[in-house]
Chain A
Amino acid sequence: MNEIAFLGALEIGLVYGLVALGVFLSFRVLNFPDLTVDGSFPLGAAVTAALIVAGADPYLATGVAMLAGAAAGMVTAFLNLRFKILHLLASILTMIALYSINLRIMGRPNLALITEPTVLTPFEGLGLPGFYLKPLFALVVLLVAGGLLARFLASDYGLGLRATGANARMARAQGVATGRSTYFGMALSNAMVALGGALFAQMNGFADITMGTGTIVVGLAAVIVGEVVLRSRLIVIAVVACVLGSVLYRIAIALALNADALGLQSSDLNLVTAILVAVALILPGARNPIKALFAKAGAR
């Protein structure tokens, strides 16, 4: 793997680090298996691309994309809390609805941003080539988002949110409004995923209707890899682990795709990802909580 390929993997890993943070928040913290992300990732991209093409400021467009993601998360939470639709199913409904909504937003399946200004434009004059600038920019965004998330989870409100996921009855007995916590957590989770989509679109120069497929599996893979590498009861470390997991996962994938001996093509990515996550879930004694979550959901 050459330097450019490595930096490319790093960039994608960092952008998907935002997805990993969102998935961590819904799956791990809130105990809410949320597949909305397959829709909110392209939603973030679609909103940003459509607004930028229409002449809006890229930063404003990115902010609106995050709000759109938050709204998508709240729809899933609403379906689950208000109408008691199983969380997995509620999130699938939102995800499938978002496919049509994303098409409406973009007006066609693909929007090119290659000639448009993006959040990176103000920094392009610094003389750094794009393959350095992009991962650096993604790293800064990720550090800010991860830092804010860790700080939030260490606050009184964040602690209430963690209790909501860990033991809702106890949380209510301690005065945590668990319904409100769930709305907030789901909004935050999907806003981060949408931010990931918005950055992805601007760094790669396009938004595409199919770009969301498998987002959830990639996010889960990052969370699992992160928890295998770094495990701690400290919430800050858990957040760092997600980010690290996302980057390591991407580098591992890049290595696998680059290894001529394996004969893999880049179109094999989803297959490789699915196998990786499946193996992680099957491995005996694999101490990953997502496994426990699915085992529990299956037994019910």
Chain B
Amino acid sequence: MIRVEDLEVTFSPGTAMETRALQGIALDIAAGEFVTVIGSNGAGKSTLLNCLTGDVAPSRGRILIDDSEVTRWPAERRSGLAARVFQDPMAGTCEGLTIEENLALAASRGARRGFGLALGEARRAEFRDKIARLGLGLEDRLGDLMGLLSGGQRQAVSLIMATLRPTKILLLDEHTAALDPRMQDFVLKLTRDLVEAERLTTLMVTHSMRQALAFGSRTVMLHEGRVVFDVKGPERLQLDVPDLMALFTKVRGEELDSDKLLLD
């Protein structure tokens, strides 16, 4: 479903600020796989995701989605194949538009945008139905501005937006990192339900090793722009957080002191 070949990204090449964010990543993700991606800050997790969505252009390598080479496609063209949820709840929605207008934007993803009314009775009914399933009581507030919602509510609506139209791939960029623990659990459970219901190929970047093992069917660890660890199947089931920590430490070649972020 997703094939990444020898992907390299260098920011500000040829300057003192030169950063080699990705240094030759190769990944093959089968249809229906749910991959969790971990790694320390600067490992290249977000850059990899941004390459897949088209927000960052790679300096070398190829990206294939569903057998089409999309390396040179702009972000808006890829949106029909892959939906994404941003880390920042503010980034994935328009706070100045109403909830239903945000949903209407997502409802036209991958389709031609014409001059027909964005919000008709049929769409409103569909949105109300989809939003009611969240159980957050938002179905009666569809006309409210998005900016009035809490971060967790916005991420939940973002997930609904990402899966509102058939998509093959779901890309999640630490989409629970900015939420409180209760909302984190809610959004993660919602993520799992939606991925299972729609059989989506999913890539979830996370900071949490617990999440990385508890969710999905495969875990990939990045370090300094390379894949250093890739595990799935029975081998993965036997892993627990301390094992992963040990691996992580080995990779970094240094002792982790008290990196709490990684634990929870």
Contacts and interface: CB of A to CB of B under 8 A. Distances in A.
Interface string B65-87: 00000000011110110011010
Contact of A160 (B74, B108, B117, B145): B108
A155 B108 contact: no
Interface string B93-130: 11111100100111011110111111100000000000
Contact of A158 (B80, B92, B111, B118): B118
Contacts of A170: 86, 91-94
B118 A159 contact: yes
Given A156-B108, A166-B96, A172 B118 contact: no
Interface string A282-294: 0000000000000
A287 to B, nearest CB: 13
Interface string A126-151: 00000000000000000000000001
Contact of A156 (B54, B77, B110, B113): B113
B114 A156 contact: yes
Most buried by B among A156, A160, A172, A176: A156
A163 B97 contact: yes
A46 B77 CA distance: 41
Interface in A161-183: 162-163, 166-167, 169-178
B105 A163 contact: yes
B94 A166 contact: yes
Given A163-B97, A233-B98, A173 B84 contact: yes
B53 A175 contact: no
A169 B91 contact: yes
A256 B55 CA distance: 52
Contacts of A158: 115, 118
Contact of A175 (B95, B109, B119, B145): B109
Nearest to B80: A175
Interface in B139-183: 143, 145, 161
A157 interface: yes
A157 B77 CA distance: 16
A183 B186 CA distance: 41
22 contacts: A155-B113, A157-B113, A157-B114, A159-B97, A159-B104, A159-B105, A160-B108, A160-B113, A162-B101, A163-B97, A163-B105, A166-B96, A166-B97, A167-B95, A169-B55, A170-B92, A171-B105, A173-B79, A174-B105, A174-B108, A174-B109, A175-B111
Interface of A: 151-152, 154-160, 162-163, 166-167, 169-178, 233
